[in-house]
Structure 1
Amino acid sequence: MVSVGDDAPDFTAPLADGDVSSLTLSEHLDSAPVVLAFFPAAFTGTCTTEMCTFRDQMANFEDVGATVYGISIDTPFTLNEFRAQNDLNFGLVSDTNREIIDAYDVSMDFADLGVRNLAKRAVFVVDDDREITYAWVSDDPGVEPDYDEVAAAAEDARKRRQNAT
């Protein structure tokens, strides 16, 4: 699994942003810090709560210049519907090929349901040098991140960027 201090694996994937476009992480680091919030599946209880909490706390991230992206294995069309039904104000990355989940080593199975290779609930903050400055990964899909801690980590990444210039 990637950890604080590691280079964030780069990726290009479909972005559900009301339309379907493409997102390459390394091309969006000028709007760093970037918050990558992995979640198992759209339209499930804890995942909906998590993404709606990021929505409700978006001002905390915008205040420090952070960009938030949710990432799951759902198709971009499913993710656009999920965005619309929940009024999400940030883009969702579709990782149907599970390449991002594998690169960040945040894969999990719900073996009792016969569902494999979903994203663990995980959050990474990436700075403008593509360094991971914050990492949180849960083995329990019912646990949500500490949103205040994520916002503080994004602010710390922004401050590091300002101090470096």
Structure 2
Amino acid sequence: MPDFDVVELEPPANPDVGEEAPDFTRPLVSREFWADRALTSLLEDDERVVVVFTPMIGSFVCQYVWDELAERGWDERGVRIVGVTASTPYSISGFLEERDLPFEIVADPANGVAEKYGIAHDLDDMAGIAEPRLAFFTIDSDRRVEAAWVATEWPEFPDYDDLEAMLGLE
């Protein structure tokens, strides 16, 4: 038995398959640098982007997810993988460096991107503190959602084999 409670989250209000994904501009962070980038500019560079929302850097959920994606070679699937979390660029770049992760993560400390995507949730007993729930979206060059998986509990993890098939990462 886990030593924490599983919490049912409020229903998300995320964009559904076929709907337009909200655009955003935030710092895109790698191990070496960060700079403001818009989702639309990422889609100019790549035909599809998989956007991975995780709780804050340092949480076991965030660490587990990014380690799992690295182990599964998501950085070698021919699609750009971009994270979003309610953490600062400094903590994100340190996290990527420390874990030797080949990904980029958007710094969204005010959690505005998760709010636009309808997947923000308040942390228990912490007034004014929110973070994204775990969620995955494949977004095409027209900014349409091709696939989506959104957690309904905390913590909740997808079946990664099923998730890869749904997101088109096989």
TM-score class normalised by the smaller sequence? 0.7 to 0.9
AA of the residue aligned to 2:163: V
Identical positions, percent: 29
Counterpart among 42, 67, 84 of residue 71 in structure 1:
84
Quote how far apart the aligned CAs of 1:154 are.
3.8
Quote how far apart the aligned CAs of 1:47 are.
1.4
Paired position in structure 2 for 1:160: none
Provide structure 1 residue ranges, at least 5 long, that are not aligned to the other structure: 157-165
Task: Say if 2:154 is the partner of 1:102.
Answer: no
Counterpart among 53, 56, 74 of residue 41 in structure 1:
56
Paired position in structure 2 for 1:22: 36
1:10-41 deviation line (CA, Å, top 9, x unaligned): 11100111211222111111413211111111
1:42-80 deviation line (CA, Å, top 9, x unaligned): 111121000111111225x533x2111111110011000
Paired position in structure 2 for 1:127: 140
Paired position in structure 2 for 1:55: 70
Quote how far apart the aligned CAs of 1:130 are.
0.9
Quote how far apart the aligned CAs of 1:113 are.
4.4
**SS at structure 2 position matched to 1:83:** helix
Instruction: Give the 3 Å change call, closer, same or farther, for CA 62–33 of structure 1 in structure 2.
Output: farther
User: Does the CA-based 8 Å contact 1:68-1:91 persist in structure 2?
Assistant: yes
- Write the distance in 1 (CA, Å) between the matches of 2:122 and 2:110: 15
Quote how far apart the aligned CAs of 1:90 are.
0.7
User: Which stretch shows the higher mean deviation, 29-38 or 65-74?
Assistant: 29-38
Quote how far apart the aligned CAs of 1:138 are.
0.8
- Write the distance in 2 (CA, Å) between the matches of 1:151 and 1:23: 26
User: Does the CA-based 8 Å contact 1:33-1:126 persist in structure 2?
Assistant: yes
User: Does the CA-based 8 Å contact 1:12-1:25 persist in structure 2?
Assistant: yes
AA of the residue aligned to 2:155: G
Structure 1 vs Structure 2 CA RMSD: 1.9
User: Does the CA-based 8 Å contact 2:29-2:107 persist in structure 1?
Assistant: yes
- Write the distance in 1 (CA, Å) between the matches of 2:79 and 2:47: 6
- Write the distance in 2 (CA, Å) between the matches of 1:44 and 1:111: 14
Provide structure 2 residue ranges, at least 5 long, that are not aligned to the other structure: 1-12
**SS at structure 2 position matched to 1:52:** helix
- Write the distance in 2 (CA, Å) between the matches of 1:141 and 1:36: 19
Q: Which has the higher helix share?
A: 1
User: Which stretch shows the higher mean deviation, 72-81 or 112-121?
Assistant: 112-121
Superposition TM-score, scaled by structure 2 size: 0.82
Quote how far apart the aligned CAs of 1:145 are.
2.5
1:78-103 deviation line (CA, Å, top 9, x unaligned): 00011111111110100112221111
